[in-house]
Amino acid sequence: MKYISKLAQIAALCILCSANIFASGSFDKAISRFCQSNAMRNARVGICVVDLKSGEVVGESAMNEAITPASVMKIVTSATALKTLSEAYHFQTTVNYDGYIDHNGVLHGNLIVNGGMDPTMDSRHFPDQESFISGCISEMKRIGLTKIEGKIIIDESVSPDPAVPMQWEDADVVEYYGSGVHAINYLDNEFSLIVDLSGRRAAVIDTVPHLSELKIVNNVVIGGKAYSPSLSRKKNSNVLYMRGNVRRQSEPIELWTTMPHPADALYNDLVETLAYEGITVENGTIDNRGVSYPLYTHLSPALPEIIKSLLTRSDNMYAEAVLRALALNDTTFATREMAVSCERRILEDWGIDTQSVTIYDGSGLSRANSITPAFLADVLTHMANDEAYGDLFPSLFPVAGENGTVKKLLKNSPLKGKMALKSGSMTGVLCYAGYYPAEHPQYAVVLMTNKYRCSYDALKKAIETLFEGMFADEER
């Protein structure tokens, strides 16, 4: 009986080994076809597929070559933040007062709003979250505050860096995805210009919300049949340029862009709401020498909710705030360089080599980022095998064919709904990284392409064929 049992063990081992060889063969065959396809002619390609149980690389091509990651960089940011800060982490924006409040509800001092880099404050992506201003004023009413003799002070010392990193492109700054991260982030750091086109010249009526620090250079021309208004602004500048031709019309138009200084908008909205609620701000000069007392604390959603939102929508501002949170966890202020240094140290503590990669930001918007497929696969593998976060982390990814930036990928494929993937794209760059299957993953998957010359549709089709080929055996 022992002899038969031993033979059975050997047979089982042989079956397992042959299955692994067969699987590796299917990965290699699919990867080879993809790399030699017309879509990848003259392109740079990096691929790494890791068996999460064994930790073995079961398919690869140039996996140690560092190339531009675009938004798959957000995976690294999200992983290090989630494990380091924990799923119970919340960004905090606190409101303090100095001086004292008398029995008539008069504050003989200043109201101080302390920025905490919360990217979700009054964000449209969390519509059920309480508004910062509503929560703050509710607390003022609860304690009977009627007047503020001093000023409303916005303390942004937590973020001494320029909001927009210097390696980002000026052209991105006015786009919704190019908003920098500030100590105070408000309304997704976006605003609208209301422009009157009924007269001889285009006239800016106002901004929503009101921005008192914004300077607008209006070079819009009314006339003709063209409609091509455009906005531009240099990094970290409060000067916005309006250009282009527009048709004369009776109804105003609305142009959306990013705020150069969201704290300006928050201040104006807070003052306006206080006046509406009957709480006077006298703006007197009062120096109480830095002694202050807590009034209100505004909490963001929990970190996993923020990460799910930023991975699904590929939100650059959210990602930059999450990166800075790593530095805030160690000290009282955070620069980009401090946060990147923290992230490198965390990754090295996990046993992941960071020497061959360049980490510039948390979002991947800069082309200064450069990572290898093997590095990213190591991060994915580490998180999937983590005892505390192994189930949670993959569940935060968008699912191919179903939602987020990968909603259209694999939607007509047998793999629809079966891959948890983050995409990353910019001109000449298309990357995907994540897990197969989406639930209870067995593999970490990284595909990075740079400098491709084919059309986006041709590349997308080639990538779908690659994924289908790699996991055809698993789907049988």
Q: Write out the two tokens for 337.
A: 């360089």
* Length of the chain measured in residues: 476
What is the reported pLDDT for 472?
Answer: 86
First to last CA, the chain: 35
Q: Is the pTM of this model over 0.85?
A: yes
What is the reported pLDDT for 242?
Answer: 95
pLDDT in tens, the chain (476 residues): 333 344 444 343 343 344 444 456 689 999 999 999 998 998 999 999 999 999 999 999 999 999 999 999 999 999 999 999 999 999 999 999 999 999 999 999 999 999 999 999 999 999 999 999 999 999 999 999 999 999 999 999 999 999 999 999 999 999 999 999 999 999 999 999 999 999 988 999 999 999 999 999 999 998 877 788 899 999 999 999 999 988 888 999 999 999 999 999 999 999 999 999 999 999 999 988 778 999 999 999 999 999 999 999 999 999 999 999 999 999 999 999 999 999 999 999 999 999 999 999 999 999 999 999 999 999 999 999 999 999 999 999 999 999 999 999 999 999 999 999 999 999 999 999 999 999 999 999 999 999 999 999 999 999 999 999 999 888 77
φ, ψ of residue 249 to 5 degrees: the values are -155, 160
Residue 302: is it exposed, middle or buried by C-beta count within 10 angstroms (0-12/13-18/19+)? middle
Which residues, 6 or more positions from 320, have their beta carbon under 8 angstroms from its beta carbon? 119, 180, 181, 336, 361, 362, 363
What is the reported pLDDT for 474?
Answer: 82
Which residues, 6 or more positions from 225, have their beta carbon under 8 angstroms from its beta carbon? 247
Tell me the one-letter amino acid at 357.
V
What is the reported pLDDT for 16?
Answer: 38
Helix (H, G, I), strand (E, B) or coil at 228: coil
Task: Give the residue from 374, 258, 382, 380 showing the smallest Cα distance to 311.
Answer: 380
φ, ψ of residue 393 to 5 degrees: the values are -60, -50
Distance CA 64, CA 372 (A): 5
Distance CA 92, CA 117 (A): 8
Tens digit of pLDDT for each residue in 155-173? 999 999 999 999 999 999 9
Distances (CA, A) of 457 to 382, 439, 463: 33, 28, 10
What is the reported pLDDT for 227?
Answer: 80
CB neighbour burial string for 376-406, b if at least 16 within 10 angstroms, e if fewer: bbbbbbbbbebeebeeebbebbbbbbbebbb
Task: Give the residue from 322, 283, 362, 271 showing the smallest Cα distance to 76.
Answer: 362
Are 418 and 445 contacting, i.e. CB atoms less than 8 angstroms apart?
no
What is the reported pLDDT for 24?
Answer: 62
Q: Write out the two tokens for 271.
A: 């003052």
Distances (CA, A) of 452 to 236, 309, 422, 467: 32, 29, 19, 18
